[in-house]
Amino acid sequence: MQCLLPVYYSSPGFTGLVTVGAETNLFGIPVPLINYAGSFIPVILSTITVYYLERFLNSIMPGILRSFMVGMLTVGITSFITLVAWGPLGTWAGFHFVSFLVIIQNTIGPIALGVLAAVLPFIVMAGMHSLFAPFMVQSLAIAHFDGFFRPALILHNVSEGGACLAIALRTRNSSLRGEALSLGFGCIVAGVSEPAIYGLMLKLKRPLYGVMAGGAAGGVVAGLMGAKAFVMGRSTILALPIFQDTIVAMIAGLGVAFIVSFIVAFIVGFEDITNTENIT
């Protein structure tokens, strides 16, 4: 049921009303016609409403009526609330949130991008990086670009790759060298950093300083040069075409991130793992 309302708001019938722009009301209450394509806050609010309203109706509805009345009432009530309240409120909040991000990018954008790229290892450890997706969608839908989240994610992965290469060159453990090279390749090309974070950075600790330094330096460079993603993509160097005419800025930022991460991780070093120790 949680999937029904988002599908309806994206249906041709509803979007057709929005395109026509005709005045619409529901039970005498004016309904703002809003294009929900790319919006996530109204969908989240309506999904939360469905969850609690369905629980409430199940608790008060007699068993004989529950099977068909609960679903019908839940969809009807939630649709009404979303059309007259959650839709306008969520769209307004999403618009101003993206506007806030644009202001940050236009004022302290390079610093903000550097800070986010630097702290991303810890965000990824907590699994919170997946929460960026709705904000990226909102930014692309309203501002038509993402100069914050996607660049930071790719910069972080390349920084992880630089630190992994430093580990591979410093260690005398052939098994660790092979694992570091493999994980570094996965970070840069596949866009998957969790194995490197959990398998190497948390264990060796000091190379993580290189990842943070590389992300910060690369983020500042990419931000100063105006790197922006114009469509959704993976957090890998293979996604560079999504930066379109700002691809040079992103390449420069990635180069700085990789080099700084490698140098710092190589200099700070780590307590090497002997061949007799278990790498994992």
Q: 6 or 201: whose pLDDT is higher?
A: 201
63 and 187 share a domain?
A: no
136 and 258 share a domain?
A: yes
Q: 266 or 80: whose pLDDT is higher?
A: 266
Q: For the ranges 41-45, 55-59, 241-245, which has the lowest average pLDDT?
A: 41-45
Range of the domain at 14: 4-102
What gap in Å lies between CA 163 and CA 263, rounded to an integer? 8
Q: Could you read off the pLDDT of 156-194 as tens digits, one per residue?
A: 999 999 999 999 999 988 889 999 999 999 999 999 998
User: pTM score, two decimals?
Assistant: 0.69
pLDDT at 257 over 80: yes
Of 102, 136, 170, the one marking the end of a domain is: 102
* pLDDT level of residue 47 (50, 70, 90 thresholds): confident
**Domain count of the chain?**
2
170 and 234 share a domain?
A: yes
Residue 240 resides in a domain: yes
pLDDT at 2 over 70: no
90 and 139 share a domain?
A: no
227 and 163 share a domain?
A: yes
Question: What pLDDT does residue 39 have?
Answer: 59
Q: Could you read off the pLDDT of 79-105 as tens digits, one per residue?
A: 788 777 877 787 777 667 666 766 776
Of 102, 126, 145, the one marking the end of a domain is: 102
Question: What pLDDT does residue 86 have?
Answer: 79
67 and 83 share a domain?
A: yes
Average pLDDT of the residues of the chain: 83
Residue 275 resides in a domain: no
Question: What pLDDT does residue 48 have?
Answer: 86
Of 50, 68, 102, the one marking the end of a domain is: 102
Q: Could you read off the pLDDT of 99-142 as tens digits, one per residue?
A: 676 677 667 778 889 988 998 998 888 777 777 787 788 788 88
Residue 277 resides in a domain: no
Residue 274 resides in a domain: no
